[in-house]
A and B are shown apart, each in its own frame.
Chain A
Amino acid sequence: MSDTVVPPQPAAPAPLAPPAPAPNPDHVTLTIDGKSITVPKGTNVLEAAKLLGNEISAFCYHPGLPVVAQCRQCLVAVEKNPKLQPSCQQTCGEGMVVHTTDPASTLARKQMLEFTLVNHPIDCPICDKAGECTLQKLYFDADNADSRVDTQKVHKAKVVDLGPTVVLDQERCILCSRCIRACDATSGQHQLDFAHRGDHEVLTTAPGEQLDNPYSLNTVDVCPVGALTSKDFRFTMRAWELESTPSVCNGCSTGCNIEIHHRNGRAWRLIPRHNPDVNAYWMCDEGRLTYHELREHRLAGAIVDGLPAGWDRAVKVASDRLASGRAQGALSVALSATCSNEDNFALAKLAQAWGLTSVYIAAKPPVPARADGRLRTADINPNTAGVKAIAAALGLSTKPLFELDPGVKALVALGDALAGVDVGRLKEIEYVALATHERGAVPHARIALPIAAWAETGGTVTNAKGHVQRMHAAFPAPGQALAGWEAITRLSQVTGGKLAWGNAREVFNEMIAVVPGWKDLKWAREARPLALRFAGSRG
């Protein structure tokens, strides 16, 4: 979590205690492959081995889900125990001696892999999971031997529609039940289950149900093979071609940690990234699909009076027109709850430089039906908390943009989320939009300046709990769009302001010095895209 910055909090208990002189009653010490390790009570052997750098192969085990020990892929030998034990279910005990590389357990795991592959179809070339498939990875790393079974494979249904978002291929399914547990855990609804027995056992929807909960796509993430595929992603892009950049979902005020998977300058999917404080391992389907709008109705060039213009002319014209509004004292500024802290801070500083004491806040309207007490919240703006904190820190009073004062003759507004604002009224005034998309009121703006969207620029957003989280730029912004703070800096320079930031880090550092409680935050080094192909399977 090096790129997630959180406000100072009481220190969480360390998962792995340093070698303490006195034995800690809450910890146990055991030996795995001759190496001693001390872990908190209740840790299973698989996790303890992982802390030693020894990844025991497993299909059904997922750290965020209940343990069922169904796949038998993680069998290890525990001394004084006659039978091999599934390490995911075996809790660490004091003085326990575990062997993971002895002949018996190695053979057992190899045979389990051989068994799992007996009925697996030869689908890799057409399978969406290929390249990030746990089965492929474990077979190649742990077994890599030829099969001794030469029988006809059992055939099952290849295309089963589970619901609006997910398609199932029953032949590929290895019956690990991760999806069933993930569906239960994330949504609280039991919509998936097994039917039949033996090699006819299949995954299917629970009686009378279909997989239609708002967290359904998490089942695709946890699927270790290509049995469950997302209707949104399947057949669009091979997984190994993608590159991953860590970011934060901008779909609502939860701020789920995500990876943007992108290639050729566009995002292809969003995948949740583990953060125990925010979203654990999950995210909602709606957030997952927000990447589509990064390509829709984008404002790619500056527009002056409905005609395309270059940046230089657009900021010059904006400066001239805003000057008259400023002279009349009728100029105002709207921050945006949909934009990053840096963009808002830059605009707030500009407002301060213009002598304003009050700013508006533009936001998307709340959706009360979304709030479910899990990850989804009613506030669908990613940065409501951040923009309020910044305005308060700079001594600016705020009110929502739909309460726009009738005396305002000129308005500089960040973002395109102008909920409840009278568009007719905006048409009458000198409205300068700094927007990512050409939608909402932006087409009516006298001057529209294109800015980069959340996936295209580095920055931070503050979620409802107050976590200030870092987003990294995944790919370049379209056309002439600049980062929001950069656009504001240019606007400031022609209007006689003194803002002169060179990069987002400078904005951030100036911001955290001002906003109370943020001064210990650190700007992480820019994350560069990681090629999934060489990063090992995500599993």
Chain B
Amino acid sequence: MADVHSLKQLVLGRQDVQDMSDLESEVPPDLMTINMGPSHPAMHGTVRIVLTVDGERIVKSDVQPGYLHRCFEKESEHATYTQVFPYTDRLNYVSPMINNVGWAMTCEKALGIYDKIPKRAEYIRTIVSEISRITDHLTCVGASAMELGAFTAFLYFLKAREWFYELLEEVSGARLTHSYVRVGGVNKDMPHGWDDKVLHGLAQTDKVMVEVEAMLNSNKIFRDRMAGIGAISREDAIATGCVGPIARAAGVDYDVRKDYPYSIYPEVEFDVPLGTTGDCLDRYLVRIEELKQSIRILRQCFKQIPPASDAVHGRFLIDDHRVALPPKHDAYNTIESMIRHFKFIMDGVKIPAGETYTFVEGGNGELGFFLVADGTGRPYKAYVRSPSFVHLSTASQIMHGHLIADIVPIFGMINMIGGECDK
């Protein structure tokens, strides 16, 4: 018995034998405790699950995140507001632009310039956000399909994803870690002819979507592995804090873009897809529909975006010396702009004391930043409300009663992104 205890101590990380009395009382003696992860080929990200199984069936599970903890909040407390952007890139690294936009909006709200961002900048932000949402869903769905054996769908979707990564690289300079958005706007304007490339990419993606849907939607293996797996009720989804595609698959009509509209989302038309059963298949279908809605938003954005020549709305960065960097030419040639540049880089944007919680619709749902500012150029506290973390906390509950093999689609559709979950 002592050996079993020590083994469980080792596996569960619990301090003493008394702590395991709950296991002893609940679990019949012929159950087995096994360790899945931290690095398992079928896992999104690095996460460890301590499973108690009755044969193949999961009786109890303890999900342990933290292997990718990069001290986002601690680092942010020692960086200027602008220096936090690269850290946000690495939260949900499949859709970094949305994280950028979320952080920029948090700073702008705290600064009180929330409604002074130029229209063109808002449109560019929305465009890159929606492209990011597309890459996020393409990756999530493609990878899940691959884990269920549908390798072709994965290749098709990743092909489409690479088009968009290349487009984002063209606009920001980096394929994955864009750091493109700034407090007060974006870093630089869209390159010439970029909009046509995006529209072309969208048309190509439409074709890929048709192909992949044909491959997956009526695929018996895919449907059998997804339908009825990992279902969660509407009430449970709300109480466990689920947001985004997971909550919508369970019938919760909550989309930050509709319920607490921000940026230019009130000016574009789109629908919020809802599921009924809350299982993995509905999560898949919601994501597929969101992909189409994002494409719809993008097409409207390119029609409505004010041209750069527009004197009122055409700027890509706010015209405010306290927030925006001066042009490089001035910084090198006048002492005024040099000082401005210097203070901006070294001391940071000074945000008055106060606290604010701002949230956007990320790839996985409500992505919020809780900022406590103390009047200096760096955050006193920067908390990120990461949807992945909240969703992962429900994983234990929704895995219960399923087979070990079902962990794969459940995890795929929870879309736990290590960088965002572990911060």
Contacts and interface: CB of A to CB of B under 8 A. Distances in A.
B334 A147 contact: yes
Contacts of A159: none
A534 B376 contact: yes
B170 interface: no
A534 B347 contact: yes
Contact of A122 (B338, B347, B377): B338
B333 interface: yes
B339 A147 contact: no
Contacts of B376: 534-536
Given A120-B335, A122-B333, A140 B346 contact: no
A139 interface: yes
B260 interface: no
B336 A147 contact: yes
Interface residues on B, range: 20 to 34
Contacts of B348: 534
A146 B329 CA distance: 14
A141 to B, nearest CB: 9
A124 B342 contact: yes
A140 B334 contact: no
Contacts of A145: 321, 336
B378 A534 contact: yes
A130 interface: yes
A219 B166 CA distance: 56
Interface string B323-350: 0000000001111111110110011100
Contacts of A140: 339-340, 343, 347
A42 interface: no
A117 interface: yes
A303 B342 CA distance: 49
Contacts of A66: none
A533 interface: yes
Nearest to B330: A146
Interface in A522-539: 531, 533-536
A124 B322 CA distance: 18
A250 B161 CA distance: 64
B40 interface: no
Interface residues on A, range: 20 to 34
Contact of B340 (A121, A137, A144, A533): A144
Interface string B1-22: 0000000000000000000000
Contact of B346 (A117, A131, A139): A131
A122 B329 CA distance: 13
Q: Select the residue from A136, A139, A533, A534 with max chain B CB neighbours within 10 A.
A: A534
B342 A146 contact: no
Nearest to A131: B346
Interface in B32-46: none
Nearest to A117: B335
A354 interface: no
A137 B339 CA distance: 9
A402 interface: no
Contacts of A139: 336, 339
A144 B324 CA distance: 12
B200 interface: no
Nearest to A127: B342
Interface in B361-403: 376-378
B69 interface: no
Contacts of B339: 124, 135-136, 139-140
Interface in B74-127: 78
Contact of B322 (A144, A531, A536): A144
Contacts of B378: 534
Contacts of B377: 533-534
A240 interface: yes
A536 B332 CA distance: 24
A145 B339 CA distance: 11
Interface string A124-164: 11000011000111011000111100000000000000000
Nearest to A144: B321
B335 A121 contact: yes
Nearest to B375: A536
Given A144-B321, A531-B78, A534-B376, A117 B342 contact: no
15 contacts: A121-B335, A122-B333, A125-B338, A131-B342, A136-B339, A139-B336, A140-B343, A144-B340, A145-B321, A146-B334, A146-B336, A533-B346, A533-B347, A534-B377, A534-B378
